[in-house]
């Protein structure tokens, strides 16, 4: 039966493929049927692996007696799970009853437990599902020698490029893991358009739709799907006419894309000769080739927190240094803006990493980003030292997220100075003149912009959070996604005020939020005075095509008039005219 679902299109394009339902768990193992005479052996194999992991945990507990209490607590929880018949005995029953291999039996039982934990109202208890998954990962590692971390069970005989991942929810870390895959698209029941999950989807340049509410319940594995990422529409089991129509549209889009590639080497300037910098936003060092391929003139935002999402530890100075060095060397002398960790919101770290008490309610308003870095001085110093050390390989700027207060800027600058002085003490080379800039993503920062202009070398406007905080809209919540409006007069006022104030004192300002990559807003931003845009590589050429056709001398007065409008309907009309 054919039917249609509607959600929020967060990454445009059309995908046609087969549904692959993602299980709650993130562990893939082989599914084998074992011979009856092997059953006892398989049970013994599982028992032995569990015993080894139990012993490992005991040793770990003894050797970390001085470690923070959280570490001891999580070891205790893992040990407890490994004694629980639910995890120890039930898989044995599955091996005996269904003759499945030990790994598969364990993962089936884990999925069952994860589902049960998800039912809890208490967030603490709900989070314990991560412990179940981790403990099972440990046992799987013992059984197979590696952790089978892939995202889903891949249907046999179907190429990855033809698969559409259907999930209830995906974390930014899940979507980051997609970078190693070539899925056609993904769709989820929950999520907002500027959630980090959606942002990473755009960086993958695959169509994606979120906020479908119950797609995972309605769609079955292997069903044919059409995903229209622009309109936010999913067509399940389309008939042949619909399929043909979408195949045609898909080909058109691909043709457009290949035409755009011709612009890669074109100089990015307007008709009236104003140079406009088009930079890339990246999440991982592996994104650099894609940025260069799209013609990025630099990296305007490296979201470093993605370096260690979903792993059990923090990267040390050496590992971070290697990552930053790889990016700066890869960019071959083009500027690279590295943002310090923005953790604590929807990009949460693995539950085993202890970073003080993590905020549970309203994390976007909690100890997030620079607040977390200042509260964890050791972590901050490690990162600052690693970034500064990488400056010897090319031009790096340091960008600080979520600043609101003068004292936060002052403390940050003092921390940078401290990192520099420790490097000097160790005779390690770095660029003494490394510029430090701040993200403008809290309305207070935009309104009290003088504080920032007096203390910092450059500014970068994070429109995703600026809109979230100005309009009080949780950017990850699909239920209020309709209220998330980049064209709200208040948002435009804050943007215009920031740009005009920075221009007056000659401080460079860029936009690195999603607004910068939306070609419908290019002319508006140019007219406001923006000259540095940073976006996903996949959006650069489209934005460039708009820049090449713009005349800022003409745009500026029109946009000034537009900014006086405070009726949303009129603003929208004016934008349409501006783009006509």
Q: Nearer to Mg ion by C-beta: 54 or 196? A: 196
- Among 463, 498, 522, 538, the residue binding ligand PEP under the rule CB under 6 A is 463
CA distances for 573 relative to 82, 112, 337, 487, 577, angstroms: 62, 52, 36, 11, 6
**Is-contact 467 516, C-beta < 8 A?**
no
Q: Nearer to ligand PEP by C-beta: 216 or 368? A: 368
- Among 17, 211, 363, 462, the residue binding Mg ion under the rule CB under 5 A is 462
Using CA atoms, how far apart are residues 379 and 383, in angstroms rounded to an integer? Answer: 6
CB of 78 to ligand PEP, least distance (A): 32
Using CA atoms, how far apart are residues 563 and 571, in angstroms rounded to an integer? Answer: 8
Binding mask 324-343 for ligand PEP (x = CB under 6 A): ------------------x-
Using CA atoms, how far apart are residues 191 and 172, in angstroms rounded to an integer? Answer: 11
**Is-contact 149 175, C-beta < 8 A?**
no
Residue corresponding to tokens 């990488």: 390
Q: Which listed range, 51-59, 133-141, 460-468, 480-488, lies at the site for ligand PEP (CB under 6 A)?
A: 460-468
Q: Of these partners, Mg ion, ligand PEP, none, which one is at the site of residue 512 (CB under 5 to 8 Å by kind)?
A: ligand PEP
CB of 468 to Mg ion, least distance (A): 8
Instruction: Give the dihedral of Cα atoms 219, 220, 221, 226; nearest 10 deg.
Output: -40
CB of 172 to Mg ion, least distance (A): 12
Using CA atoms, how far apart are residues 416 and 410, in angstroms rounded to an integer? Answer: 10
112 is catalytic: no
What is 121-167 written as a DSSP string? Answer: SSHHHHHHHHHHHHHHHHHHHHHHSS----SSPPPTT--GGGEEEEE
Beta bridge partner(s), residue 435:
397
Binding mask 511-540 for ligand PEP (x = CB under 6 A): -xx---------------------------
512 is catalytic: yes
Within 13 Å and on the Cβ side, how many CA atoms surround 336? 33
- Give me the catalytic one of 78, 196, 488, 536: 196
Strands 233-236 and 224-228: antiparallel
Q: Nearer to Mg ion by C-beta: 285 or 513? A: 513
Estimate to the nearest angstrom the gap between the alpha carbon of 14 and the chain centroid: 21
Binding mask 257-296 for ligand PEP (x = CB under 6 A): ----------------------------------------
Residues that bind ligand PEP (rule: CB under 6 A) add up to a total of 11
Q: Which listed range, 76-84, 254-262, 289-297, 459-467, lies at the site for ligand PEP (CB under 6 A)?
A: 459-467
299: left (phi > 0), else alpha (psi -120 to 50), else beta? Answer: beta
Binding mask 37-76 for Mg ion (x = CB under 5 A): ----------------------------------------
- What are the E-state strand segments in 354-496? 396-400, 435-440, 458-461
Using CA atoms, how far apart are residues 294 and 242, in angstroms rounded to an integer? Answer: 32
Cα-Cα-Cα-Cα dihedral sign, residues 298, 303, 308, 314: positive
Q: Nearer to Mg ion by C-beta: 42 or 408? A: 408
Tokens standing for 207? 């169509």
Q: Of these partners, ligand PEP, Mg ion, none, which one is at the site of residue 297 (CB under 5 to 8 Å by kind)?
A: none
Q: Nearer to ligand PEP by C-beta: 187 or 491? A: 491
Residues 432-461 that bind Mg ion (CB under 5 A): 441
Q: Nearer to Mg ion by C-beta: 137 or 518? A: 518
Residue corresponding to tokens 């845009």: 533
CB of 501 to ligand PEP, least distance (A): 19
Q: Nearer to ligand PEP by C-beta: 134 or 337? A: 337
Binding mask 196-215 for ligand PEP (x = CB under 6 A): ---x----------------
CB of 513 to ligand PEP, least distance (A): 3
CB of 324 to ligand PEP, least distance (A): 17
CB of 346 to ligand PEP, least distance (A): 9
- C-beta neighbour count of 259 within 10 angstroms: 11
- Give me the catalytic one of 78, 100, 512, 536: 512
Strands 509-511 and 458-461: parallel
**Can residue 462 be called a binding residue for ligand PEP (CB under 6 A)?**
yes
**What are the catalytic residues?**
196, 512
List contacts with ligand PEP (CB under 6 A): 199, 301, 303, 342, 441, 462-465, 512-513
List contacts with Mg ion (CB under 5 A): 441, 462, 465
């Amino acid at each position: 039966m054919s039917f249609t679902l509607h959600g929020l299109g967060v990454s445009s394009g059309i995908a046609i493929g087969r549904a692959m339902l993602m299980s709650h768990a993130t562990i893939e193992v082989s599914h084998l049927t074992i011979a009856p005479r092997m059953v006892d052996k398989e049970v013994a194999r599982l028992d032995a692996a569990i015993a080894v992991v139990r012993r490992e945990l005991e040793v770990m507990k003894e050797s970390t007696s001085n470690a923070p209490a959280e570490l001891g607590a999580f070891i205790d929880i893992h040990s407890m799970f490994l004694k629980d018949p639910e995890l120890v005995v039930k898989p044995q029953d599955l091996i005996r009853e269904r003759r499945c291999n030990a790994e598969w039996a364990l993962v089936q039982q884990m999925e069952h437990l994860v589902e049960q934990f998800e039912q809890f109202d208490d967030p603490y208890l709900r989070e314990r599902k991560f412990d179940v998954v981790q403990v099972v990962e440990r046992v799987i590692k013992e059984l197979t020698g590696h952790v089978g971390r892939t995202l889903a069970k891949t249907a046999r005989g179907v190429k990855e490029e033809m698969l559409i991942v259907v999930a209830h929810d995906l974390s930014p870390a899940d979507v980051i893991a997609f970078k190693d895959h070539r899925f056609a698209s993904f769709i989820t029941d929950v999520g907002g358009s500027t959630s980090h999950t959606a942002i990473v989807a755009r960086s993958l340049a695959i169509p994606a739709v979120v906020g479908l509410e119950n797609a995972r319940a309605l769609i079955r594995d292997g069903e044919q799907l059409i995903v229209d990422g622009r309109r936010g529409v999913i067509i399940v089991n389309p008939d042949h006419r619909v399929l043909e129509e979408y195949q045609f549209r898909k080909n058109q889009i691909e043709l457009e894309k290949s035409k755009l590639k011709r612009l890669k080497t074109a100089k990015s300037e307007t008709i009236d000769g104003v140079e406009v910098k088009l930079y890339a936003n990246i999440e991982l060092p592996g994104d650099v080739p894609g940025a260069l391929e799209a013609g990025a003139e630099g990296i305007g935002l490296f979201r470093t927190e993605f370096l260690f999402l979903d792993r059990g530890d923090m990267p040390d100075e050496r590992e971070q240094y290697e990552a930053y060095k790889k990016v700066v060397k890869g960019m071959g002398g083009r500027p690279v803006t590295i943002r310090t960790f923005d953790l604590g919101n929807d990009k949460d770290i693995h539950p085993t990493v202890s970073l003080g008490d993590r905020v549970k309610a309203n994390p976007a308003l909690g100890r997030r980003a620079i607040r977390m870095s200042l509260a964890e001085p050791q972590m901050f110093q490690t990162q600052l030292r690693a970034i500064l050390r990488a400056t010897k390989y090319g031009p790096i700027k340091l960008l600080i997220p979520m600043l609101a207060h003068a004292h936060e800027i002052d403390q940050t600058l003092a921390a940078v100075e401290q990192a520099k002085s420790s490097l000097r003490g160790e005779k390690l080379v770095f660029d003494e003149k490394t510029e430090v800039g701040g993200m403008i993503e809290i309305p207070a920062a935009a309104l009290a912009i003088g504080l920032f202009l007096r203390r910092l070398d450059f500014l970068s406007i994070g429109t995703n959070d600026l809109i979230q905080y100005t309009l009080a809209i949780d950017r990850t919540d699909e239920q209020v996604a309709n209220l998330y409006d980049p064209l709200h007069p208040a948002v435009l006022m804050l943007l215009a005020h920031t740009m005009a104030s920075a221009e007056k004192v000659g401080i460079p300002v860029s936009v690195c939020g999603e607004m910068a990559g939306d070609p419908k807003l290019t002319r508006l931003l140019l007219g406001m005075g923006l000259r540095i845009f940073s976006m996903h590589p996949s959006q650069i050429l489209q934005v460039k095509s708009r820049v090449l056709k713009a005349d800022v001398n003409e745009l500026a007065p029109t946009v000034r008039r537009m900014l006086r409008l405070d009726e949303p309907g009129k603003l929208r009309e004016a934008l349409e005219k501006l783009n006509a």
